[in-house]
Structure 1
Amino acid sequence: MENDDLQRLGGVGFQDVVAALAIKVLGPQIRPMGRGRDGGRDMLVSDGVIVWSADERHPKAETWDGTTIFQVKHKETLEGTQKDASSFWQSIKTELDEWGDPDSTRGDVPHYLVFATNIPLTPVPGSGGFDTINTNIQRYLDQLNNELAEDDVPKSAREEARKRRRARRDRMKRLRKWRLWDGNQIVGLLNAHDGVRRAFNGFLTAGDVLADLSMLSTNVNQAELGTALEKHARSMLVGERRVYFDEAGYEGHGVPVEDVAIDLPVLVGNRQTSDHVIAFALERGERVLKPGLTTVAKPRHLVLTGAPGNGKSTVSKFLTHAYRAVFLGEDLEIGDDQLKTVASTTDALVAMGVRVPKNRRWPMNIDLARFAIEQGTADSYSLLHWIATTLTGKTASKDIPRWELWEWLKHWPSFIVLDGLDEVSEPSVRKALIANLETFAAEAESERCDMLIMVTTRPTGYQDELPSEAFERIDLTDLAVNDALRYGQLVTKLRLPDDEARQDRIMSQLQQAAQDDRTKHLLRTPLQTLIMSIIAESAKQFAPSRYELFWGYYSTIAKREQNKNSSLSRLLREHALEVLELHRRVGLLLQKEAETATGTDAVLSPLELRNEAWKVLAEAEYEPETRDQELLERIVKTATHRLVLLTPRPGGGFGFDVRSLQELMAAFALTTGPLEETIPRLRRIAPSPHWRNTFLFAAGRLFTEPQPYQQRAITDLVLTLDEDAPERFGSMFPVGPNVAADIIDDGMIAVPKFLRHLVAHAMSALNEPAGFELTGYTRMLMSAAATSDAVRGFVADGLRDALGGPATSRENAEAIQGAITDIGRATGACTAVLGLASVRRDASKTLPAEPVANWAAFSDTLHEYAEPDTENAMHTMDGLIQDVQAAGGFRDQQLGDLVAFLDEPDNVIILGEALCHVAAGSPRLMAILRQNVLPGLWRRPVDLGDDSS
């Protein structure tokens, strides 16, 4: 191989190569250091032994016994022998200066240093680059012992300079030896260790491999698999690249995803450091993730969470597209349109300040909702099966066997997006899907695949079901106002490319909204920013609530359709109420259907839509069977193009392209009618993650309308949500505090008398073991606290009370305060909000005694309710729960046994009464049950009753 190949790897890839070679040549005691600030330690051997074999540059074998550190220096562009060698020496000198600095935070100087670079150093004895740099290092160390070194320093500063030199000398005395691994050495090692070389696709091109699949396995069907893979990548590069603004109910031509994608802010794991999702994901993808060679510590895969409209799907589409462009753009034969697409994608990455991937991955984007429909609960239908079937279907080739696809994934890096976990709600299907995803990731690990998996989901209802040792969670956060305005300008120019006057008018309104405390919170997601840009075309101001924003959007689109010069527009004008009612009915029907096993990707067939339209007309006392049959047919015909927000779906049938719009209409349906009917419906849906966004739209409508009794009713509903709810352990595992938090975060409420109660209720989550999701809950508190001094005071009081409460409350409050500091630093929170991290408990009050679990009463309660036919089950549950408490988790089939036990509603009530005796004194047990058992209860399909449809 050639030295040029080392440049193509990029800095991250080169570091991985050096790490893999070091492990291969010197042994597993070499420890690659992870992402982030490493203190000058790219690789480390801590108090270990390294045995060096003799070679032409080091004719004697050596043994290093002590601490060895490897430092990797990659030069992006080689400029020539002298310039490159000088650059390498300057990098080494910088490191030596840092190690020797007496004020350094790096700790002790290692006993041995290895400097690795892709730069090939000339071997000429005495004057070549290799000998020159070794001489420079020795001269540098010798100079630290030179007592005449300060003679030229002014006398006033001489003693201080001598003191610092001696301090540097004393630190560097620990360094015994060093070695250089230059580009020539690395190439030689790679040639000697072909297995390492083949593990890094930077040394090969996609064309190389697809042209000769025998590099993977002589048993692979080269004609079929190679053709299918290349054809799929080529066709999808153009076919799946477009984003359609009509997906948000606005007609227009689709635009390339690279023209509309923005790099959204994301919070990463427990570090709470500020980052951007595209840059973060692509940087993760630059690392070699092949087990045994990777320098990335587990977890390697990603779970991307984001609120409705936060841009999860667009981000995942762009990442897939970017990898596809890189995969195809080097040496495969592609057409002019595809070449332009590759170039525009590269330009988009550069504009984001994101490096074009060097580690080329074969990408695949999977719609989990559609996969779940096919899979159901069948154990035999795997994700790999679905990928192979999809690949076959999109390339019109013969069936691609799963084992052949595995051969490809085992040998070529891949990027697999699993989009929309939140859309799979039915408990049994979701459980089977999670198991399938775990199995897929585990098999990729065991097969040593260099694979990066990204799963996307809404945060509500996601209980970190995917194993944390394999999947790292990252959370999309709100757009900064300036980023939202830039996105607003971008989409406005794309929608109205030839009308600068309208562009200016829209941007003026968006800028005014960004400066208004009542409306700037609406500019928090790409979808809402897009909707505001569309509303701004016909409205002079924005309503301050999210519900009003989406409802105003429906009105805007409806008016646009009504004002067109066509017979269908006349229909929309004359029958606006019937059209709206049809939207409400369809929205609620699809939302109900979507939480069932067969309705994950819910749409209405043409016949079902016709039937719903018939019901709407009949209830309005039209005669759709006779006199008004033509009206019925016109409504259905209109829907085949667009009926305001109802659209034909790609797979057939009708529905809403954006789930938030479906949820808006479902909320409208649930809140249409007397309040005494509305509140019970909302009480039923509030605990369900599937219905949470619908509930928030419904609450937004009730809070928006100037009816104080409605606002009081919805507030009381939230405050009492967990009362009389034994079927889901409401008293011990309340959901009301989190619903209150969502309402506050939504920004729908400003009246202090209601806001105060809801903030206090949201703060009560601090008393619950695992009662909230740290990142999202903290962000909610910080956002609420920024609205006013009064709300900030409510939050401070809640933290103070928790800090003065039992251990669980104190630990939760301290975790929140730590997160406030971290998130505030990452997002630039104001000083007043950051001050919440300094709240302290009231020292004049004594901490309460810790509650004690009464396990005897727990057992007595279970056995007291036991009937002859349930006695064995109650006895089993008694032992099971106490075993979970003692072990700190479920073992073997215990979780399945408990879930099966709770399928009987009476058993839930009985176990709930028993748990009352131990809940306060067993916080670990309660956390385990909340995280593992309660999500299944909350996800059970909601029975709204016939009166809601």
Structure 2
Amino acid sequence: MELSFSGRMRQVPDYDLTRLGSRAFEQLVVALARQDIGPGVEVFGDGRDGGREATFEGTINWSKTSSGGQNELDQWSGYTVLQAKFHVKPGATPQNNAVWLQKQIKSELDGWIEAANEHKRSRLPDYLIFITNVDLSAVAKVGGIDTVNQAVQRWLTDKDTYSSGLRVKDFAIWHADQIRSMLDNNQGVRCAFPALLTAGDLLAQLAPEWVSLGSFDAQDPLRDQLLLAIKDDRWIRLSQSGGPGEAKLWLDDTAIDLPATISRHDGDDVVQAVKHVLRLGDTVLRQRQPDRVKRSNLVLVGGPGQGKSTLSQLIAQAYRVALLTGADPGPSVKEIIAGTRSALTRLKLPVPSNRRWPMRLDLAKYAEELSTGAETSLLRWISKRISERTDRTISPSSLRQWLRAWPWALILDGLDEVPSLDTRRLVYNKIDDLLTTAEDDDADLMIVVTTRPTGYDERFPADRFEHLQLQRLPSDDAANFAQQITDKRFNDDDEMRIKVAARMRAAAHDPLTIRLMESPLQVTIMSFIVEKYPTLPPDRFTLFKMYYDTMFDREVAKDIPVARFLSLYRTEIDRLHEQVGLTLQASSEAADGAEASISPQELHGIALSRLLARGFDSAEAEKQAAALVEAATHRLVLLGPRDEGVGFDIRTLQELMAALAIAEGDDAVVMGRLRLIAHHPHWRNTWLLAVGALLLRSERFEKGLLRLLKQLDTDPHRLNARYPTAPALAADILDDNLAVKRPHFELALIRSLLVTLDRPPVVDLPHLAAAILRTAGNPSYRRLVYDRIESAASAGAARRAASALVLEEMSAEVAPHDARLTTMLNSYKILKISDTEGQVLGAWDVLLERSSSPASTLTESDIHHRVWGSIRLFNDPDAAEFTLSAYLEKLVETVGLSDPDLHVLRAGLAALSGSRFHLTGPTPGTALPAALHVGSTEPLLHALENEDVATALDLALSTLPSTHWAIEALLGVAFKPSQNRQPVGPDVLRVVAEANAADNSYSD
């Protein structure tokens, strides 16, 4: 069945089972088997050879109309195994299909014989049912059905089978025609699989007043939405930056799939992100499906410019192409469909079998509406967006009907661009509300969310969301992607294409620059730079700064009238970009400005104020301000249109410009600004780029930055160094190659990074562990790292726990058979983690949902699964349970805090009453975390603004024995992310404005 945009369906003779895909076919088989055999059919699990199978224990009475048994009136009594054999591309003739199926069944039987001989399975089948999607000929004796049956009968009765002990009493083969017949008799099952739906099915599920919805005829708003969206998402946003001849970069020309890791209880899997998403999407995700997928939603986690949004575009385009198969859209859309199909083929990605309706949304824009106090559900927001784009009204209730009737792929891009913690929580709640609605309606919904890792502290629940951590682009993939970019940009200039391609290949394998080509954005920017500069930058700040300079110089070099203006007013244009970048970065810190933009009037005002402050008379300033705005928005095109205003199309360029504004001024003033933004995850990339600017300017900033890192975690309002920020900042500086060829500076940063091992980190643990692993990869520092880890063996439980946690995360970063695992295992053994400490670590790990089940005993081959060994369930009936709030209140009472201040602190700690722990063992005992639940942390943050209160809490925590580290960690997890996100944007704008005013004053 295929959709026709004339409002009709083009019928095929029978249900096309190949459209299901392998996993969905297995789900269909289970559903049909439960109808035909009975509800006792167990859903598919791992088979004898890693394949998938279902089982039934009991009696099966085959009826005359049944699909099983060699004899129609057979009765089977015993253990039955069902095995699905799905052929992606069935043969052209039934004979070809019969040959293929015989090979599949023979291989399966050989496996059972081997299992019987070697006693690999606890139980052998009494009966076998093979289910396949291929068509077999019914011609007597010589047709496919009879020949396969005869072959199977012969194999089951030969001497090898008999001598192995495999005794299969009977078997059945359900081929495509029988499956179709079973579907006709089980319409409810069929309607759960969209690939098998007809027009009548769809319209029957929709109320009469909504029949146009999903029909994709001229009256259907979904048709317009689909056609507009497929055109919108063809662009890669970087194309706004132009190239020779203003060449555009299309998604279908340059799209790539990226490697990602998925954390599982038995280790990390490495997958291709888009391929994994599409494979999940090809299954039926209705929650009442017998063989349902438990985690039917995904989060794509990746750093700046790592390609999250581009991947989300590619996923959406794949589903749009699937829905448009067989349609007859206009020429422009046909071109995009062909291009997308070509890209999917190039990437070895299938067009989705399960034709989900894709909806890709910008979460920042949704957050803006929520921040106004509007109680807007996601369904209402989607219906509003469709109605606005298509000029056809669609109500939330009709959209919910569509959700019931048809599978969805809801792609929510840019969670990291919702910086306000309160608004982020609202977004989480609204997504959870939609999932609840979908489950109640038994909808086939897949949600894909994208976010940066920095600041992603309130994670989606691991039982409903699978987390894909995007990995750095491998050097070979980076080189291939660079070739794609180069071929596209210089398709009419062979000489330049060859020259740039050679430079890009060299950069992709150079030890210094390879770290600057680990994301699609970096590779693309590098292609602009190597066009002009044969020598490449060693750090990310220089990379992006050279990109900006390259774009500027290209315009200046053109033989056009505006080139002279650009050259004369370069400083003013630079400052305009910097001030706009800082303004947008500050406004995007707040929920109502997450999608950062500035009106043309505001842009003009910034330029005008700058010129007036510099001493231009009002008439000249007005004239030149208009010219500056024109140059910034129409020549350099770094600022592009956004809603009713303009903004940076590339977020990192906004952060770069904000960084340059922050780095401008006297040393002490600049260091004060860096201190101001150092803790906030929204400003982290800006902070790092500003550091790059300073280090490029002078080596004197090395010592200043190191002093800043030492002082940063001495703030009593932040409980001093209990939850340090400096190690993560040191990791970022090292990771950005900013310490290359600066040995003293590098060593000092590494020592700051290793402060991570003083107490278990409550934020940024994966990032910190990855940085320590990379440091250990340098022979010059390997011994320093492992000596520091192993020294925890003679320290307290908190340091041992920190080292064990870091080792676990380090081990997750490497392949199962990596030689470095041996060193990690030896370090873990030296720590001598006791059984009780292991219980605490295991409970802590499960509490934070980094793992879903306990691990088995540690071995060298499975250290990447978990660092500590056997984790036993906590079972101490004599252990006392405490709430975190009550325990900390009692603890603080011992340090002599005044009654008014104590009252303020108690009010702040009340939010922690849902967090609990046990104290077990001899006094002072060991604290074992039991629950983590946090309400609003605003009262606690308010209390910590009082230095006496903060100091008292810090002193009280100092009285905890080392075995109570989990109490301190529970407190940190509760309030540290919120405290880090306290707004700093207004203060940043104020101090920069004051400094600029002073710089522009010549009254002295």
Fold match, TM over 0.5? yes
Partner of residue 20 from structure 1, selected from 11, 31, 47: 31
Q: How far apart, CA to CA, are the structure 2 residues paired with 1:213 and 1:706?
A: 70
Q: How far apart, CA to CA, are the structure 2 residues paired with 1:333 and 1:737?
A: 57
Partner of residue 840 from structure 1, selected from 824, 827, 831: 827
Partner of residue 980 from structure 2, selected from 908, 923, 938: 938
Q: How far apart, CA to CA, are the structure 2 residues paired with 1:919 and 1:404?
A: 59
Aligned position for 1:460: 454
Displacement of 1:455 in angstroms is 0.4
**2:411 aligns to what SS in structure 1?**
strand
Preserved contact between residue 806 and residue 849 of structure 1 (Cα < 8 Å)? no
Aligned position for 1:151: none
Preserved contact between residue 765 and residue 772 of structure 1 (Cα < 8 Å)? no
Moved more, 524-533 or 295-304: 295-304
Q: How far apart, CA to CA, are the structure 2 residues paired with 1:879 and 1:590?
A: 33
Partner of residue 447 from structure 1, selected from 429, 441, 453: 441
2:89 is aligned with 1:95: no
Aligned position for 1:10: 21
Aligned position for 2:152: 137
Relative distance call for 1:141 and 1:223 in structure 2 (3 A) is closer
Q: How far apart, CA to CA, are the structure 2 residues paired with 1:224 and 1:512?
A: 51
Q: How far apart, CA to CA, are the structure 2 residues paired with 1:249 and 1:468?
A: 41
Displacement of 1:198 in angstroms is 0.9
Summarize the alignment of residues 753-832 of structure 1 with structure 2, pairs less than 5 Å apart.
Answer: 753-769=744-760, 771=762, 773=764, 775-786=766-777, 788-802=778-792, 805-807=795-797, 809-810=799-800, 813-814=803-804, 816-817=806-807, 820=810, 823-825=813-815, 831=819
Preserved contact between residue 790 and residue 830 of structure 2 (Cα < 8 Å)? no
Which runs of 5 or more structure 1 residues have no equivalent in the other structure? 147-164
Preserved contact between residue 75 and residue 119 of structure 1 (Cα < 8 Å)? no
Q: How far apart, CA to CA, are the structure 2 residues paired with 1:401 and 1:700?
A: 50
Displacement of 1:100 in angstroms is 1.8
Aligned position for 2:95: 82
Partner of residue 173 from structure 2, selected from 173, 180, 184: 180
Q: Deviations over 1:913-948 (max 9, x none)?
A: 444444843344444444443211111111336222
Partner of residue 312 from structure 2, selected from 299, 311, 316: 316
Displacement of 1:221 in angstroms is 5.0
2:733 is matched by which residue type in structure 1? Answer: I
**1:96 aligns to what SS in structure 2?**
helix
**1:222 aligns to what SS in structure 2?**
coil
Aligned position for 2:892: 861
Q: How far apart, CA to CA, are the structure 2 residues paired with 1:434 and 1:647?
A: 31
Partner of residue 934 from structure 2, selected from 875, 891, 895: 895
Aligned position for 1:384: 379
Q: How far apart, CA to CA, are the structure 2 residues paired with 1:2 and 1:40?
A: 35
2:601 is aligned with 1:592: no
**1:885 aligns to what SS in structure 2?**
strand
Summarize the alignment of residues 681-696 of structure 1 with structure 2, pairs less than 5 Å apart.
Answer: 681-696=673-688
Aligned position for 1:412: 406
1:42 is matched by which residue type in structure 2? Answer: R
Aligned position for 1:723: 714
Partner of residue 273 from structure 1, selected from 252, 269, 275: 269
Q: How far apart, CA to CA, are the structure 2 residues paired with 1:817 and 1:646?
A: 43
Q: How far apart, CA to CA, are the structure 2 residues paired with 1:682 and 1:239?
A: 38
Preserved contact between residue 248 and residue 658 of structure 1 (Cα < 8 Å)? no
**2:643 aligns to what SS in structure 1?**
coil
Q: How far apart, CA to CA, are the structure 2 residues paired with 1:703 and 1:295?
A: 57
2:749 is matched by which residue type in structure 1? Answer: L
Q: How far apart, CA to CA, are the structure 1 residues paired with 2:813 and 2:992?
A: 42
2:63 is aligned with 1:54: yes
Q: Deviations over 1:378-413 (max 9, x none)?
A: 36211111110111111111x211010111111111
Moved more, 72-81 or 455-464: 72-81
2:976 is matched by which residue type in structure 1? Answer: L
Summarize the alignment of residues 418-433 of structure 1 with structure 2, pairs less than 5 Å apart.
Answer: 418-433=412-427
Relative distance call for 1:52 and 1:802 in structure 2 (3 A) is farther
Q: Deviations over 1:325-350 (max 9, x none)?
A: 110122x3322332332222222111
Moved more, 57-66 or 95-104: 57-66
Relative distance call for 1:229 and 1:568 in structure 2 (3 A) is same
Displacement of 1:578 in angstroms is 1.5
Aligned position for 1:158: none
2:665 is aligned with 1:665: no
2:98 is matched by which residue type in structure 1? Answer: A
Q: How far apart, CA to CA, are the structure 2 residues paired with 1:474 and 1:37?
A: 26
Summarize the alignment of residues 600-615 of structure 1 with structure 2, pairs less than 5 Å apart.
Answer: 600-615=594-609
Preserved contact between residue 807 and residue 828 of structure 2 (Cα < 8 Å)? no
1:13 is matched by which residue type in structure 2? Answer: A
Displacement of 1:662 in angstroms is 0.8
Aligned position for 2:848: none
2:74 is aligned with 1:42: no
1:17 is matched by which residue type in structure 2? Answer: L
Partner of residue 353 from structure 1, selected from 348, 355, 362: 348
**Scaled by the length of structure 1, what TM-score is found?**
0.88
2:689 is aligned with 1:697: yes
Preserved contact between residue 121 and residue 130 of structure 1 (Cα < 8 Å)? yes
Preserved contact between residue 53 and residue 84 of structure 2 (Cα < 8 Å)? yes
Q: How far apart, CA to CA, are the structure 1 residues paired with 2:701 and 2:579?
A: 23
Q: How far apart, CA to CA, are the structure 2 residues paired with 1:129 and 1:452?
A: 39
**1:32 aligns to what SS in structure 2?**
strand
Relative distance call for 1:875 and 1:679 in structure 2 (3 A) is closer
Aligned position for 2:703: 712
Q: How far apart, CA to CA, are the structure 2 residues paired with 1:804 and 1:128?
A: 76
Displacement of 1:83 in angstroms is 2.7
Displacement of 1:705 in angstroms is 3.5
Partner of residue 234 from structure 1, selected from 224, 227, 239: 227
Aligned position for 1:154: none
Displacement of 1:63 in angstroms is 5.4
**2:531 aligns to what SS in structure 1?**
coil
Q: How far apart, CA to CA, are the structure 2 residues paired with 1:730 and 1:930?
A: 12
Question: What percentage of aligned pairs have identical amino acids?
Answer: 30
Q: How far apart, CA to CA, are the structure 2 residues paired with 1:220 and 1:822?
A: 50
2:277 is aligned with 1:289: no
Summarize the alignment of residues 459-498 of structure 1 with structure 2, pairs less than 5 Å apart.
Answer: 459-498=453-492
Aligned position for 1:736: 726
Q: How far apart, CA to CA, are the structure 1 residues paired with 2:652 and 2:40?
A: 52
Relative distance call for 1:895 and 1:352 in structure 2 (3 A) is same
1:141 is matched by which residue type in structure 2? Answer: L
Partner of residue 963 from structure 2, selected from 900, 916, 921: 921
**2:426 aligns to what SS in structure 1?**
helix
Preserved contact between residue 786 and residue 827 of structure 2 (Cα < 8 Å)? no
Summarize the alignment of residues 237-276 of structure 1 with structure 2, pairs less than 5 Å apart.
Answer: 237-248=230-241, 252-270=246-264, 271-276=267-272
2:54 is matched by which residue type in structure 1? Answer: L
2:982 is matched by which residue type in structure 1? Answer: R
Aligned position for 2:903: 871
Which runs of 5 or more structure 2 residues have no equivalent in the other structure? 1-11, 841-879, 919-927, 994-1004
Aligned position for 2:923: none
Displacement of 1:62 in angstroms is 3.6
2:128 is aligned with 1:113: yes
1:240 is matched by which residue type in structure 2? Answer: D
**1:360 aligns to what SS in structure 2?**
coil
Q: How far apart, CA to CA, are the structure 2 residues paired with 1:223 and 1:73?
A: 33
Moved more, 455-464 or 416-425: 455-464
Displacement of 1:447 in angstroms is 1.6
Relative distance call for 1:673 and 1:383 in structure 2 (3 A) is same
Q: How far apart, CA to CA, are the structure 2 residues paired with 1:673 and 1:364?
A: 46
Q: Deviations over 1:82-117 (max 9, x none)?
A: 332232121111011122224586665344432111
Q: How far apart, CA to CA, are the structure 1 residues paired with 2:956 and 2:544?
A: 45
Preserved contact between residue 803 and residue 814 of structure 1 (Cα < 8 Å)? no
Q: How far apart, CA to CA, are the structure 2 residues paired with 1:103 and 1:713?
A: 68
**Scaled by the length of structure 2, what TM-score is found?**
0.84
Q: How far apart, CA to CA, are the structure 2 residues paired with 1:539 and 1:90?
A: 58
**1:363 aligns to what SS in structure 2?**
strand
